[in-house]
Amino acid sequence: MCMSDVGDKYERHWQVRMEREPDEDFWRYERNWALPNLLREGENFLDLASGSSIVGEFAKKKFNCKVKALDISKTAVKEAKKRGVDARVGSVEKRLPFGNGSFDTVFWGDNIEHVFAPLEVMAEARRVLVKGGRLIISTPNQAYWRHRLYMLLKGALPKTEGEDNKPWEWGHIRFFNRRILRELLKEAGFRELDFIGVSRRRLDKPFLKKWPELFGMIMVVEAIKI
């Protein structure tokens, strides 16, 4: 699939999504529950692969951050601009259209599982960060206990995205657990600062703090540029 095909795919995705959910709620997605404890006041903040930049809008309004956003979908960027975010169209798998050391924090939410070359994307995120800047990543956790059980019983990868489709139709092409993501971060010149497991399931919640790698359906990782 060439880059233009990828762009067309996500353009269609966002067109349908905006028709179905024109008033997106920040708190509806459990991934976002972890973010208020990670964001900092007044930062230069990049929302990478931003979608409609609901996270960028939150960072701007609640933390007075100076936010820029980048997404491959024109529809998503249009929605981000409606939210008051300085957004532009672009692919994360190309050189980012920002100067070296432009941002204090890069948020890369639920996109690493979609890209062909995550190490190269991380390298670009590192380039646009200041010395000691932070990369915050969220992605499905392949080590989640229900996924492990599915693998044991079915001998196949479990579905880690919300759409009801067949394995060969998945948009997720990369699969991570904490160890794999930590190794990737290290190779890209980052060091993990915090690992948060997130789940909305009642059975998981009592165990999230002690065993986030096992009971977190979604991983939120804070890493520092070294």
Instruction: Please compute the mean of the pLDDT values over residues 100-126 and round it to a whole number.
Output: 97
pLDDT for 7 equals: 76
pLDDT for 19 equals: 83
Residue 3 has pLDDT above 90, yes or no: no
What is the model's pTM?
0.93
Domains by residue range for the chain, with CATH: 31-68+96-160+169-225 (3.40.50.150)
Question: What is the average pLDDT value for the chain, to the nearest integer?
Answer: 94
Per-residue pLDDT tens digits for 24-60: 899 999 999 999 999 999 999 999 999 999 999 999 9
Per-residue pLDDT tens digits for 212-225: 999 999 999 999 99
pLDDT for 4 equals: 55
Instruction: Please compute the mean of the pLDDT values over residues 85-114 and round it to a whole number.
Output: 97
Nearest to 55 by CA among 97, 82, 27: 27
Distance from chain centroid for Cα 159: 17
How would residue 142 be classed by pLDDT, with cut points 50, 70 and 90? very high
β 66-71/44-48 pair status: parallel
Instruction: Please compute the mean of the pLDDT values over residues 121-137 and round it to a whole number.
Output: 98
Nearest to 44 by CA among 165, 138, 129: 129
Residue 62 has pLDDT above 90, yes or no: yes
Residues 215, 208 contacting (CB under 8 angstroms): yes
Per-residue pLDDT tens digits for 144-178: 999 999 999 999 999 898 778 888 888 899 999 99
Q: Give, rounded to a whole angstrom, the gap between the first and last alpha carbons of the chain.
A: 34
How would residue 10 be classed by pLDDT, with cut points 50, 70 and 90? confident
Measure Cα distances from 122 to 72, 100, 137 in Å: 17, 14, 10
Extract the tokens encoding 201: 């399931």
Output the DSSP codes for the chain: --HHHHHHHHHHHHHHHHHH-SS--GGGSGGGGGGGGT--TT-EEEEET-TT-HHHHHHHHHH--EEEEEES-HHHHHHHHHTT-EEEE--TTS--SS-TT-EEEEEEES-GGG-S-HHHHHHHHHHHEEEEEEEEEEEEBTT-HHHHHHHHHHSSPPP-SSS---GGG-S----B-HHHHHHHHHHHTEEEEEEEEE---TTTGGGTTT-HHHH-SEEEEEEEE-
Per-residue pLDDT tens digits for 78-91: 999 999 999 999 99
Q: What angle do CA 19, 21, 22 make, to 5 degrees?
A: 70
* Spatial separation of the C-alpha atoms in residues 151 and 219, rounded to whole Å: 19
